[in-house]
Amino acid sequence: MSRAFNFSAGPAALPEPVLRQVQEELLEWKGERASVMEVSHRGQAFIDCAAEAERDLRELMGVPADYAVLFMQGGATTLSALLPMNLASPERTADYVLTGHWGEKALENAKPLLRTNVAASSRESSYRSIPARDQWRLTPGAAYVHYTSNETIHGVEFPGVPDVGDVPLVADFSSNLLSRPVDVSRFGVIYGGAQKNLGPSGLVIVIVRKDLLGKHGRDLPPIFEMQNQARNDSMFNTPATFSWYVVGLVLKWLKAQGGAAAMAVQNRNKAELLYGAIDGSGGYYRNDVDPSCRSWMNVPFVLPDAALDKPFLKEAEATGLLGLKGHRALGGMRASIYNAMPVAGVQALTTFMADFAKRNG
Ligand SMILES: *Cc1c(COP(=O)(O)O)cnc(C)c1O
């Protein structure tokens, strides 16, 4: 075995016990005499598996009964276009708060579908902070306010839920779902792709207050009508069955770890360890995000000279530390330390970083 610590931003590391269980039951699943990938989503075995994943997610996140939990396809990006279509008519206005790359992308996908207003943006400061709440220019009577709970590329995470009054809050949680407890009742919609914190790509989880659906007044193709997915247990068409099954296993693993509260303790410890190593390197490594909103999930950092990037990555790989190359938009490094990354992985990374700095100082 030469499995290494995988710091990839997404698709990202999965808990090893989950991968082992997948391996064990890949050929014959639950007495079906076939793989989970090979059986009908309408069969009882898969229906039970799907319902159990939904129950576990509801339990882990404390989802109130008036919210639908959907397991849809197309990733978070598709949802960033489906949501404006499904939440409001074209003449209404939606507010967008931009704290990084993914907020910008969501805004671009909304623009052709309704009126948009950038209520706040930290673009001017290169997305290193979250605009102060009292600076947001919210639209009275807006259809919703959209923000990105954790900006995966810029490493900026909301430490809490912003207060926007009675306007439904729509949040992209792709890269921090279940990384810490969150009060679902504060939201109109929470959505997130599975491939960062919860499973393989191909699946996007949507938690939506049921009364928000079906009021857009648009003539939508039935497949884009989210109410059809809500009314058909996310099986209006064939769902991403394999991804759904794996997410179900990850949710069981999360429950065994103690759920979101236990994850929060571990994630905070991992983040403090890594930021501590960066800040304590005497300026060798740098992360310029405002400490009040540094992400617990994605930690971008730069070396003193970009010429050191290549040797850093090469030696890190040889040491068993993978996926540290930063996003091409920012350069430098990025360590993604999602739920499945053990503390030992972050310890191995900080040890390597200190050693590299000493040898290349
Ligand atoms: C990865 C990511 C996305 C895009 O996800 P896709 O599955 O590629 O559509 C959107 N938002 C955030 C915050 C992400 O981390």
How do the domains of the chain map onto residue ranges? 17-256, 258-360
Q: How far is the CA of 102 from the centre of ligand 1 (A)?
A: 7
Q: Which residues are catalytic?
A: 102, 172, 196
Spell out the CATH class of 258-360: alpha beta
Residue of 175, 177, 195, 247 to test ligand 1 pocket, by largest number of atoms within 8 Å of CB: 175
Nearest CA to ligand 1 atom 6: 75
CATH 3.40.640.10 fits 17-256, yes or no: yes
- pLDDT one digit per residue (tens) for the chain, 361 residues: 589 999 999 999 999 999 999 999 999 999 999 999 999 999 999 999 999 999 999 999 999 999 999 999 999 999 999 999 999 999 999 999 999 999 999 999 999 999 999 999 999 999 999 999 999 999 999 999 999 999 999 999 999 999 999 999 999 999 999 999 999 999 999 999 999 999 999 899 999 999 999 999 999 999 999 999 999 999 999 999 999 999 999 999 999 999 999 999 999 999 999 999 999 999 999 999 999 999 999 999 999 999 999 999 999 999 999 999 999 989 999 999 999 999 999 999 999 999 999 999 8
pTM: 0.98
Nearest atom within ligand 1 for CA of residue 193: 7
Q: How far is the CA of 126 from the centre of ligand 1 (A)?
A: 19
Helix, coil or strand: residue 157 = strand
Nearest CA to ligand 1 atom 12: 174
Nearest atom within ligand 1 for CA of residue 75: 7
Nearest CA to ligand 1 atom 14: 174
Q: How far is the CA of 77 from the centre of ligand 1 (A)?
A: 6
CA distances from 361 to 39, 111, 347 (A): 57, 48, 21
* Buried b or exposed e, range 103-119, using 16+ CB within 10 angstroms: bbbbbebbeebbbbeeb
The per-residue pLDDT for range 112-139, each reduced to its tens digit, is 999 999 999 999 999 999 999 999 999 9
Q: What residue ranges line ligand 1, CB within 6 angstroms?
A: 10, 75-77, 102, 148, 152, 172, 174-175, 193, 196
Helix, coil or strand: residue 312 = helix
Nearest CA to ligand 1 atom 3: 76
Residue of 80, 102, 153 to test ligand 1 pocket, by largest number of atoms within 8 Å of CB: 102
What is the chain's percent helix, strand, coil content, to nearest 5? 40, 15, 45
17-256 and 258-360 agree in CATH topology: no
Q: Is 189 exposed, middle or buried (0-12, 13-18, 19+ CB in 10 A)?
A: buried
Beta-carbon contacts of residue 215 (< 8 Å; ≥ 6 apart) = 87, 88
Q: How many residues does the chain have?
A: 361
| Alpha-carbon gap, residue 96 to 206, rounded angstroms | 19
